[in-house]
Amino acid sequence: MNLFLKNGQTFSGQHFGAEKDVSGEVVFTTGMSGYLETLTDPSYYGQIITFTAPLIGNYGVFDEKTFCQTVDEVYESKKIWARGVVLAEHSLCPSHELATQSFDAWLKKQGIPAISGVDTRALTRVLREHGTILGSISEKAPTQFEDELQGRFVPEVSPTELEILEPENFSGKTIAFLDCGAKNGIFRNFLSRGIRVLRFPFDSNPFSSGQKFDGLFISNGPGDPETCHETIEVTKEALEKDVPVFGICLGNQILALAAGGKTRKMKYGHRGFNQPVQEVQQKENCLITSQNHGYEVDPDELPADFEIWFKNLNDGSVEGIKHKTKPVFSVQFHPESCGGPEDAKYLFDTFIKTL
């Protein structure tokens, strides 16, 4: 089995997982663990994930019967959204008392093909040099690569109707949650804090729904933020109405676009659990964060009434923005820490205090 890249390069390895060919955008992630959370993150829709860690699958795969009451407490959604997996090595004998199946068996069950034995160090160098690139996991090289990267991915991962999530201990506050492909960890963080969540599809308008809420949240999700026209328009309305707003990842880019800013595609993006960010106004405050994105906010096009809140300490890219006077802000990283560090969890409380 081979990984064929659109630039003509080929990486050989051994097939495992599902028996089928796939194509997608080849990206890399630097997380050394958390492969369950990574693969079930809807933001990876349409992508073939290269894990830079040398061994994946060593603690196996859990299910709801042995690990918790509901699978939503383990995974970030109910299925794998990535199209394929590329590894240096996968564990044939997982070791964990709660594991119920191997990584290979899980991929087979989910219908996801994978390839191991790949020189992932060399592949990552290619992706860093040339940027993310279309690729295919298959026996034979495809005659052509269909460029699917210009499509709208968010409609594929967003819910189709309103869902109301009730916390066990209601605090009296409710948020309108625009779900562009949200991770379950975000819902858990709001519900554990007593916040009632109105989970809207990405193209719904909470202001015309008849529902009452105290603030607007914009979730993470896959693809180009400029294609989320409906979500951008709702965010503009929230800014006009002076409603508290909080965005994560794609939500950070959507807020910037709604405010009149611009976004741009990154060369190879940020994917992993070890990205250092710094709060601009408090330089002593450095956070280690979980990230998964291929687009960024253009710092040179930020409106005058917004300021950069966080920046990435590796490349200086924008990691968060906030309005200078209103309770409106967003971050490019994932404060829900699924998986990854918990440095930024306090941002949920920061938002809730504005409701």
Secondary structure class of 17 (helix, strand, coil): strand
For 97, other C-beta atoms within 10 Å of its C-beta total 7
- By 3-state DSSP, what share of the chain in percent is helix, strand and coil, each rounded to 5? 25, 30, 45
Handedness of CA 90, 93, 96, 98 (dihedral sign): positive
Residue 110 burial class via C-beta count within 10 angstroms: exposed 0-12, middle 13-18, buried 19 and up: middle
Q: Any residues with CB less than 8 A from the CB of 315 and at least 6 apart, and which?
A: none
For 328, other C-beta atoms within 10 Å of its C-beta total 26
Is 334 tagged catalytic?
yes
List the one residue out of 340, 323, 321 whose CA is nearest residue 248.
321
Label the pairing between strands 306-312 and 263-279. Answer: antiparallel
Largest CA distance in the chain: 58
The tokens of 170 are what?
């209601």
Reduced 3-state DSSP string for 274-301: EEEEEECCCCCCEEEEEEEEEEEECHHH
What CA–CA distance (Å, rounded) separates 355 from 191?
A: 15
- 37, 249, 270, 323: the active-site residue: 249
What CA–CA distance (Å, rounded) separates 26 from 85?
A: 9
> Cβ distance 19 to 113 under 8 Å?
yes
> Cβ distance 106 to 63 under 8 Å?
no
Is 229 tagged catalytic?
no
What CA–CA distance (Å, rounded) separates 270 from 333?
A: 9
List residues with catalytic annotation: 249, 334, 336
